[in-house]
Structure 1
Amino acid sequence: MGQISAASECITVTVDREGVDIPKSVFLHLFEQSFKKYSAPYRDAIDKGRISLSELQKLAHKAEIPWCLFFAPEELVNEQVRHKAQELRKGVPRRDSISVGTRGSVDVSEVDLIVMDLMRKQAKLREYGGKAPDNKILGLLQKQSALSTEDQAQLLADKLDFSYPQFQQCKDAGAALDYFISRLAAQNVLVSQGVEDQFMPQSTRDIGCSGVTIRDKCYPYIYLTRGRHDDHQEVPRRKIFTLALLTVLIAQKQFSVVEWNDGNPESFEIESEGVLAYGIAAAFLMPRDRLNPGNLETLEGVREAAKHFQVTPSALVVRCARSQLMPWDRATDFLDQLRREFQSAPKSENRGRHKPENAIAKFANHEFVRRMFDALDAGKLSESEFRLVVTHNKLVKRQLLDLRKAVE
């Protein structure tokens, strides 16, 4: 019995016909923080209890793990993993989350591998992207500020050189979202967007959060989730508000996981840090001097105005109610109607499919990809490292031209 148990707790690393056993716990622990834990070779090794040395070396290289660690004492492995996790996770609080408009809570563990991958990208920007000054958006707003919500929103818009006419005249909400992301990238705030699971560092099917803000004094990142598979509220106009909320958190130096629901009026009657950030985001997208109460007396009028501001009707209703431009009884009635419409609408799993190069560019961020191409062209970065850092080796050499065209 003891021999059977010991064997089941090992992975055999084979060279030709010879084999060396390593503790299964070491194998699992080293890959625990890597997106390669979802790969077929990794799963096969677990299922079969064996892997060739050449396959292990290839897998370890792709996961950025020194392959010799698999043969090190377990105490050393544990210490190395602990140190690496501590370094990678220092950008996001481990137990902190902000829930706005929802009674639930979320934790960074839901997006662990995504956060760690984006922090690697921040490190590569610092290494290859040239010396950058401290970020001007980071810390622009103070949580305890003498400025009004409206003034803080305008300060943020000015710093981003955000053109309301250009934003509101975008052909659709998707184009408006792209414009917003481009204004952030111009200030070295990079936005990663969720795409199909095969292009992500981890499966996102069960992720419930709306997004994450990730610390860096030069290149703060925002991860904007693709949304739950049963939640078709996560459409471009809802994403636009989510992005505005996450941008405010970056400006306030708040680094956390965020979940919010734009259709719960009770949540916005409570003054809290989360609601303060929400209020600034709402004022940023819907400046008070651009709101016309006369057009908001009917739900149809609200829908039309929401399209103009590139937000959901629910977000516009709550903004008007909190600004005392709409009575709460009407706002509550409108929100109830919108909620019933959402609940009765047919659910759809069809989210469309990206070309591989577009998915990679969307997740990594176009500006990040462009800067890594600059480093590649300058000889600072090898092609193999580029494909590992930028594409997770999802693209072969001949597809790099497609990726270059996608971010031009």
Structure 2
Amino acid sequence: MLNGTRIPIDEAVFTVLLENSVAANYSDYKNALESSSITFDSLVALARTGDIPYVLFFAPLPVAEAQVRSKTDKLLAGVTKETFAVNSRDRVHLRDIELIVKDLMRKQELLKRNDSTLTRNRIVGLLSRPGRTIEEDAAALMEALGLSHDSIRVARSKADALEVVTARLEANQVLVSRSVPNAMPQNLTKVKGNFSGMAIRDAKVPYIFLAGGNRGDSEEPAGRMVFTLVLMAVLVAQKKFMPVTYDGSSAGTDVGPEYDIVGAILMPAKTLRGLPLGMLDDVKAAAEVLKVTPSAIAVRAMRLGMISPAAADAHLQELGREFSQRPRSQTRTLGTMKAVRRYNGREFSRRMLDVLDAGRISRGEFCRVVCLRRIRPHQINAFREAVL
């Protein structure tokens, strides 16, 4: 309704435009479908939220459908529509991560446009042709990254092991972003199930986004993120760029060679065979040694024939019960500088500070595009301290 005048909108146009956007999660959209009406101000607000020119709502259906296809094609240039699942039947709707995908793609383009030191990425496609054995593929990826089994195991904690793997990826131009509520253009509250992260395509600077800490997590997040990060490194090496769902509480066998490559990197068979795994406490102890979750140890041991499927399933069920009974710790709120740095990733932030120092972007543009207006120009030095 505009100035008291009712203007008809084709319901098919209305739904096709908004169902394919983040605005589909908003109450104004659902209320409009139920009442078959919407105010002009609410329509414009939904259009802004969904990044849709509001005049499209008055266009013929074929025009609206063509615009949706164009938008989806651009989005899928960075992320494949299919979801890579490990022991999970969940699927990720791109609209629930759309703004994050777009922002990280913009960051990729900004960096490539301004940083002449970037080279073609050696990790992308490294494993596009499988080697003779899983162990050969694992060794090839680790050598390319400069990552060793010992460097992960000697980390003081799983959180430190995550930093070790992140540092080796970023040293090889694979950028790593982590979910931080309110530091991103879109929070993950609408994402269902076991969404763990995604890899975004680029020949020079692929971006890995780690979801981490989802409300649906059925196991401790640090060990899960170590596994997920290595899994996505494997996918990048295979030139697979897609959302990842990972249910570590299931011993399902519907996993591909990617899982076993991750296992060979984080839980090598020779090492695992040298550890006692007869009791659940043994599984937990092995997880502390290898910096993964006990669930990952149980599934890997089952796949190596070290424990039976029934024993693995019993371990996973008990681990799930134990985790569900733990008191939920309060999520630590990061300061603004650390939050922005964690979402951007340290390597992207560092390189863009170099671009800023070289005068290739302004301080205002740095705050607007690099930091999503979370900081102001006078705070750039404080941000620099958080990055370095």
Q: TM > 0.5 between the two?
A: yes
What residue in structure 2 maps to residue 382 of structure 1? 362
Does residue 286 of the first structure (1) align with residue 267 of the second (2)?
Answer: yes
Q: Which residue of 2 aligns with 1:20?
A: none
Q: Go from structure 1 to structure 2 and tell me whether the alpha carbon gap of 1:286 and 1:219 turns closer, same or farther (over 3 Å shift).
A: same
Deviation at 1:5, TM superposition (A): 3.8
Q: CA deviation at 1:88?
A: 4.2
Structure 1 gap segments, 5+ residues each: 10-24, 39-45, 51-55
Match of 2:342 in 1: 362
Q: In the TM superposition, what whole-angstrom CA distance separates every residue of 1:37-74 from its partner, at most 9, and x where no partner exists?
A: 99xxxxxxx98939xxxxx9xxx9xx9x9xxx889997
Residue of structure 2 equivalent to 1:205: 189
Pair 1:231–1:262, CA change in 2 (3 A): closer
Cross-structure match for 2:41: 49
1:89 pairs with one of 62, 76, 79: 76
TM-superposed deviation, 1:331:
2.1
| Alpha-carbon separation, structure 1, partners of 2:288 and 2:218 | 17
SS at match of 1:320: helix
Q: 2:288 maps to which residue?
A: 307
**1:105 aligned to 81, 84, 91, which one?**
91
Query: In structure 2, how many angstroms separate the alpha carbons of the residues matched to 1:330 and 1:72?
Result: 57
Cα deviation, 1:268-287, whole Å, max 9, x if unaligned, reads: 2x4xxx42211111111111
Assess, with a 3 A threshold, how the Cα gap between structure 1 residues 128 and 359 changes in structure 2: closer, same or farther. Answer: same
Distance of aligned partners of 1:392 and 1:33 in 2 relative to their CA distance in 1, 3 Å threshold? farther
Counting only pairs closer than 5 Å after superposition, residues 16-55 of structure 1 correspond to structure 2 as 49=41
How far apart in 2 are the matches of 1:294 and 1:118? 41
Asked if 1:337 is matched to 2:321, the reply is no
Question: What corresponds to 2:277 in structure 1?
Answer: 296
**Closer, same or farther in 2 for the Cα pair 1:5/1:195, shift >3 Å?**
same
Q: What amino acid sits opposite 2:4 in the alignment?
A: I
Cα distance in 1 between the residues matched to 2:69 and 2:172: 33
Question: In the TM superposition, what whole-angstrom CA distance separates every residue of 1:377-408 from its partner, at most 9, and x where no partner exists?
Answer: 11101111111111110112222111101111
Mapped contact 2:115–2:355 kept (Cα < 8 A): yes
Name the CA distance, whole Å, in 2 between partners of 1:73 and 1:122. Answer: 32
The alignment's C-alpha RMSD in Å is 3.5
TM-score (normalizing by structure 2): 0.83
Cα displacement (A) at 1:93: 1.9
CA displacement 1:220-270 (0-9 Å, x = unmatched) = 1111103322436351111100111111111111111110111211x22x4
| Counterpart for residue 106 of structure 2 | 120
Given that 1:293 and 1:326 are in contact with CA atoms closer than 8 Å, whether structure 2 keeps it comes out as no
CA distance in 2, matches of 1:176, 1:214: 23
Residue type matched to 2:219 in 1?
Q
* Unaligned 5+ runs, structure 2: 27-37
Q: How far apart, CA to CA, are the structure 1 residues paired with 2:55 and 2:325?
A: 57
Structure-2 residue corresponding to 1:179? 164
The CA distance in 1 between the partners of 2:93 and 2:221, in whole Å, is: 23
Q: Does 1:149 align with 2:121?
A: no
User: Partners of 1:264 and 1:371 in 2: how far apart?
Assistant: 40
Counterpart position of 1:225: 211
**Structure 2 residue 357 is matched with structure 1 residue 373:** no
2:295 counterpart of 1:317 = no
Aligned 8 A contact 2:218 2:320 in 1: no
Q: What CA distance in whole angstroms lies between the structure 2 residues aligned with 1:375 and 1:177? A: 27
Query: Offset of 1:124 from its aligned partner?
Result: 0.8
CA contact (8 A) 1:293 1:325 kept: no
Give yes or no for contact 2:338–2:386 (8 Å, CA) kept in 1: yes
Task: Say whether 1:259 aligns with 2:245.
Answer: yes
What is the distance in 2 between the residues matched to 1:247 and 1:321? 23
Distance in 2 between the 1:120 and 1:7 partners?
A: 36
1:121-152 CA-to-partner distances (Å, cap 9, x unmatched) read 1101110121532211111113x624211211
Determine if contact 1:176/1:310 at 8 Å carries over to the other structure.
yes
Identical residues among aligned pairs (%): 34
Equivalents in 1 of 2:39, 2:231: separation in Å?
Answer: 43
TM-score by length of 1: 0.79
Instruction: Name the SS of the counterpart of 2:245 in structure 1.
Output: strand
